A = this chain, B = another copy of it.
Amino acid sequence: MPLFRSLPEEELRRIFAELKVTETRFKKGEVLAMQDEPVNRLIILLSGSVKGEMNDPSGRVAKVEDIEAPSPLAILFLFGQHNRFPVQATAREDGTAIIIPRQSVLRMLSMNETLLKNYLDISADFATRLSRKLNLMSLRTIRQKLAVYLLDLAKKQHSEAVTLDRPKTALAEYFGVARPSLEREITRMEEDGIIAPLRKEISILDRQELVRLADKG
């Protein structure tokens, strides 16, 4: 559990003794937090997983985000003026979570500097992901997004032959583009000799060109 990393168990126990902390079980399909509901408590997944959905009033579901235990929900929005859940959080499977009211979180963080550091680190990591995605979404063309994404994957996987970390369907959704459009662009980059795609495996043939695309479009 990243939030409590490096904390001696007795210290943790001492802190918890002073706080209002609830542990709860939830079942698959249960709604842990409604969209636009005020975030007045920190929900930390201990086990299980949760999906975040934005519901159109038209009934359909829009964007999706998955969160695996152990991880906090909406930690970036616990404080501030407009602190509301950006998505509806629904359990994907049975699991457990602990719930800490905002005021208790505040007290908890001021009780232990390591804990505070952990909290800030976790928040910053979420913010970084948010920022990265925003950068990706700001790119004009699908080709450009692909270039950035592939280079990023190659870096993470330390290889010029990358394996997509999600199905292309999900990747298209992540990019905010239509799936066939993404496929088409992959095909075109293959025709241009930049990559060699095979299902989820994509080899980078012309790294220089990818870098050029990522930088300049």
Interface residues of A (CB under 8 A from B): 56-58, 63, 76-83, 86, 106-107, 109-110, 112-113, 116-117, 120-128, 130-131, 133-135, 137-138, 140, 176, 215-216
Find chain B residues with CB under 8 A from A116 CB. 106, 109-110, 116
Given contacts A127-B127, A215-B56, contact A138 B82 (CB under 8 A): no
* A137 interface neighbour in B78, B127, B176, B216, Cβ under 8 Å: B176
Determine chain A's interface SS by DSSP, over half rule.
helix
Measured between C-beta atoms, what is the minimum distance from A125 to chain B in Å? Answer: 5
Q: What are 27 A-B pairs at a CB distance below 8 A? A: A56-B215, A63-B138, A76-B127, A77-B124, A77-B127, A78-B120, A79-B121, A79-B123, A81-B128, A82-B128, A86-B131, A106-B113, A106-B116, A106-B117, A106-B120, A109-B116, A110-B110, A110-B112, A110-B113, A110-B116, A127-B130, A130-B131, A133-B134, A134-B134, A137-B138, A137-B176, A140-B176
Across the two chains, which residue of chain B brings its CB closest to A125? Answer: B80
In the complex, are the beta carbons of A117 and B216 less than 8 A apart?
no
Across the two chains, which residue of chain B brings its CB closest to A134? Answer: B134
Cα distance A215–B128 in the bound complex, in angstroms: 28
Given contacts A116-B110, A117-B106, A140-B176, contact A134 B124 (CB under 8 A): no
Cα distance A58–B123 in the bound complex, in angstroms: 33
Cα distance A135–B130 in the bound complex, in angstroms: 11
Which of A79, A117, A133 has the largest number of chain B CB atoms within 10 A? Answer: A79
Find chain B residues with CB under 8 A from A134 CB. 130, 133-134, 137
Find chain B residues with CB under 8 A from A176 CB. 137-138, 140
In the complex, are the beta carbons of A80 and B130 less than 8 A apart?
no
Given contacts A113-B107, A130-B130, A134-B133, contact A120 B215 (CB under 8 A): no
